[in-house]
Chains A and B, each alone.
Chain A
Amino acid sequence: MMFRAVVFVGLCISIGVVWIIESGAADVFLEATRPDFQKIPLGIAGIDNVGGSESPEGRAKLGTRIEEVLKADVRRSLVFALVDLPSLGIKVSQLGAEPDPSFNQAAENGVSVIVWGKAGIKNGNKEADLSMDGYVYDVGSHEVVGGKRYVGSTSVARLMSHRFADELVFRYTGEPGIARTKIAYVSELGTARELFVMDYDGYEPRQLTADGFLNLMPRWSPDRRFLVFTTYRNRNTQDIDMIELATGKRWTLVAQGGLNITPVLSPDGNSLAYSSSHEGNAELYRLDTHTKAVQRLTTHAAGDLSPSWSPSGRELAFTSDRSGGPQIFLMSADGSNVRRLTFDGDYNAAPAWSPRGNWIAYVCRTPRKEYKLCVITPDGQKHLQLTTGLGVDDSPSWSPDGRHLVFSSTVEGKSQIYMINADGKDLERITFTGTHNSAPSWSPAS
């Protein structure tokens, strides 16, 4: 049976809203989005440096680097509470394949899991194989429950940490974790805006397009192989293109003339919803990716845009200014049953339906004319503002585990990309270079 709970949680945002969460979670696994979920106390004893003939300094850097990435991943998982072992008086003497005797003290200190590992480079050659071993010790059962052994070039050191972190999340929740996910986004190069993809933590940015003009609002395919986005062909027309990440190969999906924007593939990948003005003003359409048939979903003199699929693919949230300023509306995926969702304020736009289905994030304009992130339940019963401060927040996109949002903000001046927990805590900036980074889209998990 499903367990359902209604719990009140006070939020640490300035307006002091009381937030009601309703959670329907399978009880097979620990449900880390449930408000009564207790994070699992986890200590990282260290990543030791072994083997190879690289200078001791270089090896130390490698182990420290991997450990730092792992700690950040564990912290962002929101499944574990990262415990500082030295501050508990736990002095680790050796990091071999066997648990250190000091781990026995951990039980008294409430630590549930201890993780450690070793890393080294063969032959002291930077390009040669890097290997990383990771071990997981369960304090309750006093045993090593398992480990991982990764090999690869030094360029995948961060990936080893990410993969190990995701294995930890998987071991304790049955979910795949988010440490290996990616974020697609738009970055300014000169006066052009091109597509990039980076790791979820902002590292390893890769440029995907180099058209020299505008490419906007990328969205992932559910299998993570493609991005769909708006491109300005020859500066004068907007088309919807798809690019394959592994090859850079491109296809045009929609080229109808007029505005063709905000494309997004359905969770099953069989439909592309988008906004087009080729029949007059911006309306929503649905392209069947198999038959290529196009179905018009909205018919209204006002602008309809920014469709976002519910996780089941049965409904769409979208922006429409049919009631004056832009507001969030919902409808069935065939265009029927349109109803308005947001009523507070005169500007609500850019909806993003959580992969867990329980929230829709969007951009809300405050009475002080700042554009901030808000979330609302699909029944419209509960809503709250997640971010505060100056500037324009835009393009919220959920992590596949539904615990985080990524978005762009001009809160510090230039548009940069930030991450925030779904409850408004732990705001973290993840892009630091360039004149403009925007339109983030968080990839599905693997």
Chain B
Amino acid sequence: MRKLPAGYLPLILGVLVLGIPACSKKAVRSGGDIQASQDAMAKGGAAKDGANSSFPDTSFSGRDDANSLRGLDRNPSEERLGGNTGNAGSPGGAGHGNAVIAKADSGSAARQLAEIRAEQVASVAAGLRDVFFSYDSFSITDDGRHALAGDAEWARSNPNAQLKIEGHCDERGTSAYNLVLGEKRAKAVRNYLVELGVGPTHLSVVSYGKERPFCTEHAESCYSQNRRGHLVVKTGK
């Protein structure tokens, strides 16, 4: 990453997390099956029940003979250890060799950044305000109600807009439980907006837990920034 003065970091993170999906383009994946599964989902296929109709057998049939140890030998025969063949069935394959290689799509990250920046521009224009939470809490405070009153007014006067509510947490606690807490925060915001007359079909929620912090210092001043319900205008699908 390019070097930037430390003071810029919260600003940049804030900019990155704000935003509107500029388009509904799917992130390109490394495997073709992703697209297939998304298509299946769209058609209400097996994915509707939560399961992809086809993925490789994951059942464990016992030790992998090719990779298993062969024991010490008084007259050892030569064991060739694999290089970069990627063959899981040979010693030095995926199990313990140097074969693990990401089929990275270098374009995906750039697309994500572009979309996030476009979201940010549109959300700033809408003037939406975020909601902040106490430690361990997903209750909306008086300040939060005040902010959401303005947000609800904007939503009611822009009836075609879709709002995304992101739930965020500070770095304390486990990654997994913070995803659940973040969802509770996002849903608390959504429910309050609905109480204020915003149509539920105009609102979606997503939890980022502590994985997209606005601020990365280990201090309460930073934690309080990260415990937030962040409102984003969606313009894509």
Measured CB to CB, the residues of A under 8 A from B are 131, 133, 136, 144-153, 155-156, 159-160, 162-163, 166-167, 170-171, 176-177, 180-182, 189-193, 197, 204, 206-214, 216-217, 221-226, 232-238, 241-256, 258-259, 261-262, 265, 267-270, 272, 275-278, 282, 285, 287, 289-290, 292-294, 303, 305-306, 319, 321, 325-326, 347, 349-350, 363, 365, 369, 371, 391-392, 394-395, 410, 413, 435, 438-439, 446
Q: Are A223 and B64 in contact (CB under 8 A)?
A: yes
Which residues of A have CB within 8 Å of B1?
Answer: 189-190, 435
**Chain B at the A interface: SS class:** loop
Q: Are B50 and A246 in contact (CB under 8 A)?
A: no
A292 to B53, CA, bound (A): 7
The residue on B at minimum CB distance from A395 is: B175
- Check: B47 CB closer than 8 A to any chain A CB: yes
Looking at the complex, which one of B63, B83, B211 makes contact with A214 (CB distance below 8 Å)? B211
Which B90-125 residues sit within 8 Å CB-CB of chain A? 92-106, 108-113, 115-116
Looking at the complex, which one of B49, B54, B99, B111 makes contact with A246 (CB distance below 8 Å)? B99
The residue on B at minimum CB distance from A221 is: B58
Which residues of A have CB within 8 Å of B98?
Answer: 155-156, 159, 204, 206
Q: Are B104 and A265 in contact (CB under 8 A)?
A: no
Question: Given A268-B60, A292-B52, are A210 and B93 neighbors across the interface (CB < 8 Å)?
Answer: no
Nearest CB of A to B135, in Å:
9
Looking at the complex, which one of B81, B87, B96 makes contact with A150 (CB distance below 8 Å)? B81
Q: Are B108 and A210 in contact (CB under 8 A)?
A: yes
A189 to B110, CA, bound (A): 12
Which residues of A have CB within 8 Å of B37?
Answer: 251-252, 255
A211 to B79, CA, bound (A): 37
Q: Are B172 and A369 in contact (CB under 8 A)?
A: yes
Most buried by A among B67, B68, B76: B76
Measured CB to CB, the residues of B under 8 A from A are 1, 13, 16, 21, 24-27, 29-31, 33-34, 37-38, 41, 46-47, 49-61, 63-64, 67-74, 76-84, 86-88, 92-106, 108-113, 115-116, 136, 164, 171-177, 179-180, 183-184, 204, 206-208, 211-212, 218, 234
Q: Are B79 and A259 in contact (CB under 8 A)?
A: no
Nearest CB of B to A125, in Å:
14
Q: Are B29 and A250 in contact (CB under 8 A)?
A: yes
Most buried by A among B25, B58, B70, B111: B58
Nearest CB of A to B83, in Å:
5
Which residues of A have CB within 8 Å of B27?
Answer: 211-213, 233-234
Nearest CB of B to A356, in Å:
18
Q: Are A350 and B176 in contact (CB under 8 A)?
A: yes
Q: Are B101 and A248 in contact (CB under 8 A)?
A: yes
Question: Given A236-B204, A246-B94, A446-B95, are A147 and B59 neighbors across the interface (CB < 8 Å)?
Answer: no
Looking at the complex, which one of A153, A213, A254, A438 makes contact with B50 (CB distance below 8 Å)? A254
Q: Are B102 and A209 in contact (CB under 8 A)?
A: yes
A374 to B110, CA, bound (A): 41
Which residues of A have CB within 8 Å of B84?
Answer: 155
Looking at the complex, which one of B67, B101, B112 makes contact with A192 (CB distance below 8 Å)? B112
Looking at the complex, which one of A211, A238, A249 makes contact with B33 (CB distance below 8 Å)? A249
Looking at the complex, which one of B50, B67, B184 makes contact with A276 (CB distance below 8 Å)? B50
Shortest beta-carbon contacts, A-B, top 5: A146-B72, A212-B109, A210-B104, A248-B103, A292-B51
Q: Are A251 and B56 in contact (CB under 8 A)?
A: yes
Which residues of B have CB within 8 Å of A282?
Answer: 180, 183
Which residues of A have CB within 8 Å of B97?
Answer: 156, 159
Nearest CB of A to B16, in Å:
5
Q: Are B104 and A289 in contact (CB under 8 A)?
A: no
A189 to B113, CA, bound (A): 12
Looking at the complex, which one of A159, A191, A235, A394 makes contact with B81 (CB distance below 8 Å)? A159
Which residues of A have CB within 8 Å of B69?
Answer: 163, 166-167, 170, 176-177
In the assembled complex, 17 residue pairs joining A and B whose CB atoms fall closer than 8 Å, in A order, are: A146-B72, A150-B81, A159-B98, A171-B71, A191-B16, A211-B112, A233-B26, A244-B56, A246-B87, A246-B94, A248-B30, A251-B56, A252-B41, A255-B52, A261-B179, A275-B180, A294-B49
Question: Given A166-B69, A192-B109, A211-B27, are A149 and B21 neighbors across the interface (CB < 8 Å)?
Answer: no
Q: Are A206 and B30 in contact (CB under 8 A)?
A: no
Question: Given A211-B27, A249-B33, A261-B176, are A206 and B183 neighbors across the interface (CB < 8 Å)?
Answer: no
